[in-house]
Structure 1
């Protein structure tokens, strides 16, 4: 089984490594983005919202550890570090700054793919022991495959719509403020325009796609002056 559709950001200035990994991931059904510098990686994390980042430490503009630290300030995105550094202290430092795994170059491609699968499976579960598929009435969300179905029919969501739905499904029955949603989906500074206005628009799009009857809401309810609440299981 593959986590088909998962979005992976590859960050490395070695184009040969990028091409080799990207070719294998795309063949397995992953959506792959690439960046050759730390600043480019940070920009893509904020704008493209990948599900996992593969991060080389030897970047041309900044230390990969600094990139890892900055990502951890606002995101729990799984980070798999690639590095030629084999010393224990380098690995410990990477883990202390938020890395989830550490692979030393040169590496076997099959080992890397296995570590990617593990990281995505762990990230897919909202809590230890929780199911990888959440079912609420006719709605089923497969976190591993990023697949959404209503009454058994697949519903195609944009990356932002899926990220928003994932937050709701992981907090059924709870009132989520607009600020909470903006932070979870767009990051710590997302309470500013244009994202604050975009939230209302995306909520509307999501409702049209998952509500069996738009006139009688089943899942996504507005709490006036506060935010939104998703139906309980």
Structure 2
């Protein structure tokens, strides 16, 4: 269960000063946050588009790409809170940052307790802390948008039933982790698991595999973990799809 202040949230930290990144990583990790640290804005932008995050702390003055430009690009793919961090405390820069889509502006040198308090305050205002997962989630070339109830593979929209979307959303959100048929059924169908539930999950997994394969047949996306359940394979390298059995893994 998520804490009320979002202390298991994923925080993206971007600053060209390695010492600042290390300081923020240590500070936020001690508070229970998962930190994604970057010193290069382009690498951070790539992670933003592929993995998603719940809040970002972005330095304003960076040589490769300044914070204004990075914020503008990030706003094209996420609605997560963005906090600017800068040694410049002029009103013009603060207004420019907020106009581009930033949610807050923190000046250096910052007070650690104040920074953490602001992070938690912003997280309390978004869906994350109401127990709702991130609106956008991307794993293994699959993008899930919970608000619009849409799913995409390699940028191409998947045509899914509500239950298929629910199953895929759960697998993507917990990518790489085997999930039992029982948990999938009770999470998506909201009913008690039984033999008919096992069959329903198996059929929906088969349909998802077929629909994913229609767009990309070069690799396997959903793997059967015998005796455990199913998992979304986290991989950036394509591979040949292997035949999958229709047997219920919970009964293997």
TM-score, normalised on structure 1? Answer: 0.63
The aligned runs of 1:135-146 (5 Å cut-off) are 142-143=131-132
Task: Write the distance in 1 (CA, Å) between the matches of 2:138 and 2:59.
Answer: 25
Q: Deviations over 1:56-112 (max 9, x none)?
A: 011120111000001112211210110111111111100110001110111100010
Structure 1 runs not aligned, ≥5 long: 126-131, 134-141, 147-157, 226-233
Length, aligned pairs only = 174
The alignment status of 1:181 with 2:128, answered yes or no, reads no
RMSD: 3.5
What is the aligned partner in structure 1 of residue 64 from structure 2? Answer: 61
Task: Write the distance in 2 (CA, Å) between the matches of 1:88 and 1:104.
Answer: 11
Q: Is the 8 A contact 1:2 1:28 kept in 2?
A: no
Task: Write the distance in 1 (CA, Å) between the matches of 2:12 and 2:96.
Answer: 22
The alignment status of 1:191 with 2:155, answered yes or no, reads yes
The alignment status of 1:15 with 2:23, answered yes or no, reads no
Q: Deviations over 1:119-175 (max 9, x none)?
A: 1111226xxxxxx54xxxxxxxx24xx6xxxxxxxxxxx9859x95x82xx67xxxx
Which structure has the larger Rg over C-alpha atoms?
Answer: 2
Task: Write the distance in 1 (CA, Å) between the matches of 2:33 and 2:138.
Answer: 13
Structure 2 runs not aligned, ≥5 long: 173-178, 187-192, 212-252
What is the aligned partner in structure 2 of residue 92 from structure 1? Answer: 95
Q: Is the 8 A contact 2:170 2:184 kept in 1?
A: no
TM-score, normalised on structure 2? Answer: 0.58
What is the aligned partner in structure 1 of residue 115 from structure 2? Answer: 112
What is the aligned partner in structure 2 of residue 29 from structure 1? Answer: 32
Change (3 A) 1:22 1:216: same
Q: Is the 8 A contact 2:10 2:34 kept in 1?
A: yes
Change (3 A) 1:159 1:28: farther
Q: Is the 8 A contact 1:37 1:60 kept in 2?
A: no
What is the aligned partner in structure 2 of residue 151 from structure 1? Answer: none
What is the aligned partner in structure 2 of residue 139 from structure 1? Answer: none
